[in-house]
Amino acid sequence: MKKTRSPRRGIVAALAGVAAAATLAAAFAVPAAAATPAESSTTSSETGNVNGYRNVGYFAQWGVYGRNFKVKQLDTSGAADDLTHINYSFGNIHYQTLKCFIANKAQGEGPNGSDGAGDAWADFGMSYDAASSVSGKADTWDQPLAGSFNQLKQLKAKHPNLKVMISLGGWTWSKNFSKAAATDASRKALVSSCIDLYIKGNLPVIDGRGGAGAAAGVFDGIDIDWEWPGSQNGNVGNYVDEVNDKANFKALLKEFRTQLDAYGATSGKKYLLSAFLPANPSDITAGGWNDPENFQSLDFGNVQGYDLHGAWDPALTGHQANLFDDPKDTRAENRRFSADKAVQMYLKAGIDPKQLGLGMAAYGRGWKGVASAEPWNTATGAAPGTWEAGNEDYDKLKTLGTEYYDAATGSAWRYNGDQWWSYDNKQSIERKAQYVLDLGLGGGMFWELDGDRNGELIGAFADKVRTGTPGDGDTPGTGGGTDPGTDPGTGECAAAAWSATAVYSGGAKVSFEGAEYTAKWWTQGDKPGTNAVWEKAGTCATDPGTDPGTDPGTDPGTDPGACAAAWSAGTAYPGGSTVSHQGSEYKAKWWTQGETPGASQWGAWELVAACS
């Protein structure tokens, strides 16, 4: 059946404090059957990347209906060449068994609408003719695997480094995560069922399709989209345990990692585990999302950089995907969200930047009855949208009215004299790609692929990161390691002594108590040998003339050097910029404007040395 509405993922309610439901339209269903064949060994285990960066896109299950967006579009548009990972959204958790399942049952309304819901027809039942198939061959009536699963498998055959993940939950299907994660037994059962269904590919038999191993080789990993552990900001009807969800979430990630690795040891393949990371500080805290221990289980996570505002606040326009805070934002301080503010919560907690991706929007949020092109003005309600009010695809917005872009906030919008739409365009995407490069993040992510049919935004991001210093792809924490040709165990310590007050970026080298260490990510005050941020490179002989209390690179007996240009509050500084302020020289760790050097040890400015 035709899907009439697109449930946008994200913080529609989590940020706005409003239970805004985003329902799936029709699908069909029956319970899944168990089976246990081995996965095909022909799947490539190599990790694809764009100049060492991830470019992740969500393929919405329901997009094959009203939008008529099939997997082949990713091939013919060239988007598949710019993508590294496709997250197929979504998989549901059964309300009774608390296990992964696939069925044909329409999504309903209200708090129990997701119970037993699924769309096996879209997943693996729908037949494709030769013209709509990635391979150019029509499906046969008796093949066990059809639908989007088979099309994704064909796409991977043409693009062998492309990874496909199954994303579990989302806004509409996160209801039962808390119950499934509540005990060791329920966690083990959930994870085992998800691996059996999606990784081993043991599908239920529905209308003649499916069966043991039918989907083997389709999925390379699992993406966790639990919205939101420990928080009441999720969808109406979600089970939430505010006391125990945080610990249970951590344990659930560990269980996924353990079982994926165990199965990988038998199949000879590395299976990925990722997560959709919230932007709302209260949700981050409630679920412990920025706990570094969680990222020992995750390969990477994607930080939500959209749905920061919307027509759930019907009388006020404003940015839904701004990179930086807007000083003109009229909302209460605790509701002035930005993508950067969210990213910083993860970085300051000690998360390796390479494990973070920046979420971007292939759609917009809009208002009507707006008298001004400037943001943060009054409106009379949600603007009309093709699939739901206040929501429209990038493809349909890119030619509406007049386009505006603000470099200071990294935000774009369009205005036609009545409707005001906040969205991402090529300019804002390129700015966000530069932000990824400046901070050394692992890449980017798009929700959702069918809003950008020709891959314009996806390509803009990929092209920009191709111009930067190569990243580390899916190998977090390994940048800046020891040169294998160097013997760190001989001679005096080559690196400067560690200082408790100095700021170190990922890859920085220090010496401390007879050993040399390499920083795996940004750090300050974390003593080498006692914290996971420092990786021991080897032993060395301490130079008795080195004062371990001196900041690296500063010779206290040398006169300060000449100062760089003075910092200015009105100037925008890209990452790497050098300025002077009050007798000291500072280097920008990322893009910044208006932040005073030295004002915060967690801020954008890294102290380099004294100057005169």
Residue 74, both tokens: 């990713």
Q: What ranges in 288-364 are assigned the alpha helix state H?
A: 294-297, 339-348
Half-sphere exposure of residue 69: CA atoms within 13 angstroms, side-chain side: 22
Clarify whether 606 is annotated catalytic: no
Beta-carbon contacts of residue 416 (< 8 Å; ≥ 6 apart): 400, 401, 402
Three-state DSSP at 512 gives strand
- Could you give the angle at which helices 426-439 and 339-348 cross, rounded to 10 degrees? 20
Amino acid found at 144 = P
**Residue-wise DSSP of 105-173:** E---SSTTTTTT-EEHIIIII----GGGSTTS-PPPTT-S--HHHHHHHHHHHHSTT-EEEEEEETTTS
Q: At what angle do helices 456-466 and 426-439 cross, to 10 degrees?
A: 30
Residue 156 corresponds to which tokens in the numbers above? 């991977």
For the stretch 523-562, what's the b/e string if a residue is b when 16 or more beta carbons lie within 10 angstroms of its beta carbon? bbebebeeebbbbebeebeeeeeeeeeebbebeeeeeeee
CA 501, CA 525: separation in Å to the nearest integer? 6
Q: Give dist(CA 47, CA 465) in Å, integer.
A: 17
Cα separation, 558 vs 564, in Å, equals 18
CB contact at 8 A, 181 and 241: no
The residue from 227, 255, 388, 448 that is catalytic is 227
Residues belonging to the active site = 227
